[in-house]
Amino acid sequence: MVALESTLRILSLGAGGFIGSHLASHLLARGHTVTGVDIHSDKIGELLEHPGFTFVRQDIRDTGFEVERLVAEADVVIDLIAYANPGLYLRQPLDVFHLNFTENMKIAEACVARGRRLVQFSSCEVYGKTVARAAPGKLIDPEDPALATFREDETDFILGPVSKHRWIYASAKQLLERVLHAYGLEGRLDYTIVRPFNFIGPKIDYLPSDTPGFPRVFPHFMEACLKGTQMKLVDGGRNRRCYTDIEDAAACIGLIVENPGGVCARQIFNVGSPKNEVSIRGLAELMRDLYATKLARPGARLPSIVDVPAREFYGPGYDDSDRRIPDISKARTLLGWEPRYDLRETLERTMRHYLAANGS
C-alpha cells in the first residue's frame, strides 16, 4: 500500500449506509480522520469509539443542519446522500428527486462557497439503456459487449420516456453531474464524480422482513434462501449487471479521495468490475447453488425461482437498464486500480455475513 503524504480531514455525508460504512473503515485504516453524518448508526457501531471518527446524527434536510460549518472544517467532502432503490423511484418520485438533486445541491454549493473539494457519488443509472435495447432488431450483433460498455466521457445517455418515471433517479443524478461540471468550467469547484456499478458485500441492505421498504435484489434473494420462499425475477430476470465487491470499491474510492498527484480533479470515474457480469436470473441461480452446497443446514428447504411481471412487482411506471458494463480504463490508468474479487467469492462472503447476522 502506498504511503500517505498527508492525512485528510474528511466529511462523509451518508456515512452510516452500506457504502459509507465500508468507506469510512477504509479511510480510517489509512490514517485519515472522518466526520460521518447520517440518521442511522447501526452499520458503523464498531467505528463509534474510533479516535479518528466523529459521528453526527443528523438529517441533512433539517433546517438546523450546519452544512457550511461542517464543510469548512473538512479538507474533502464525500456526498453519499441518496435514495437508491427502484421501489422508491416508482412510489415516491418527488422525494427521490428532492433528496438526490435539491438537497445534494446544497452540499455542492457549500463546497463552492468554502472552496472545498467534493467527491460526489452519482450512479451508473445515468447511462440508462444500451443501444441494443433502444433499437431492437436493428443491430447485427445485439449481444456485442461493446454495445453495453459505458465510458465516462463518451457514452450517450439513453433514458426512457417521462411516463416511465422510474428514471427520475437517473435524471436527478445526471442533472447534478451537469451542474457540478458547469461549476468546474467556471473554475469554482474541484470535484470528482463516482459512478458505482452495483456494489455488493456485507451490510449491503436489511432483509425485507427486518424493515419496511422496498428490497433490492440481494436481500430479496437472501431472504428467499433463508426461508425457502420464492426468488422473484422481474420480467424473467433477463437484465444483466456487473457486481463489484465492496472491498474493491472502497480501495478505488479511497484513492479518489486521496487524489494522488491531483489526477482526479474534475474527473468522472466508473467504479465497477467488468468481469463479474451476470443476469439477474444467473444471480438467483448462483446464490441458490451457493446456499445449497456450502451454507444451508441439512434438509433445509431451497427457494424456488419464479418469473413475475414488472407491473405486478413494482407497479406502473417501471423500466430498467438492460445491461451495463463499466469501462474502467480511467481508474486503471490514473489510479493503478484493478478489481480483485470474482462474483462467486464475493457472494459467498456476503451470504455468510447475513447468515451470521440472522443466527443461521
In a domain, 155, yes or no: yes
Reply yes or no on whether 169 is catalytic: yes
DSSP labels, 11-24:
EEETTTSHHHHHHH
Q: Give the C-alpha separation, 5 to 90, whole Å.
A: 46
In a domain, 261, yes or no: yes
Residue count of the chain: 360
Residue 119 in grid coordinates: 467527491
Q: Is 122 exposed, middle or buried (0-12, 13-18, 19+ CB in 10 A)?
A: buried
User: Looking at 89, 169, 243, 291, which residue is catalytic?
Assistant: 169
In a domain, 33, yes or no: no
Given a cut of 50, the residues of the chain with pLDDT beneath it are 1-2
User: What pLDDT does residue 358 have?
Assistant: 80
In a domain, 329, yes or no: yes
Q: Give the C-alpha separation, 29 to 329, whole Å.
A: 27
Q: Give the C-alpha separation, 48 to 36, whole Å.
A: 10
User: What pLDDT does residue 158 have?
Assistant: 97
- What CATH number does the domain containing 98 carry? 3.40.50.720
320-344 pLDDT, tens per residue? 999 999 999 999 999 999 999 999 9
In a domain, 60, yes or no: no
In a domain, 141, yes or no: yes
Pairing of strands 277-279, 240-242: antiparallel
User: What pLDDT does residue 1 have?
Assistant: 45
In a domain, 68, yes or no: no
User: What pLDDT does residue 10 have?
Assistant: 98
In a domain, 293, yes or no: yes
Domain that holds residue 216: 82-357
Number of domains in the chain: 1
- 296 closest CA partner among 343, 226, 347: 226
Residue 253 in grid coordinates: 474510492
How far, CA to CA in Å, does 141 sit from each of 50, 147, 159, 276, 310?
A: 53, 9, 22, 21, 26
User: What pLDDT does residue 85 have?
Assistant: 86
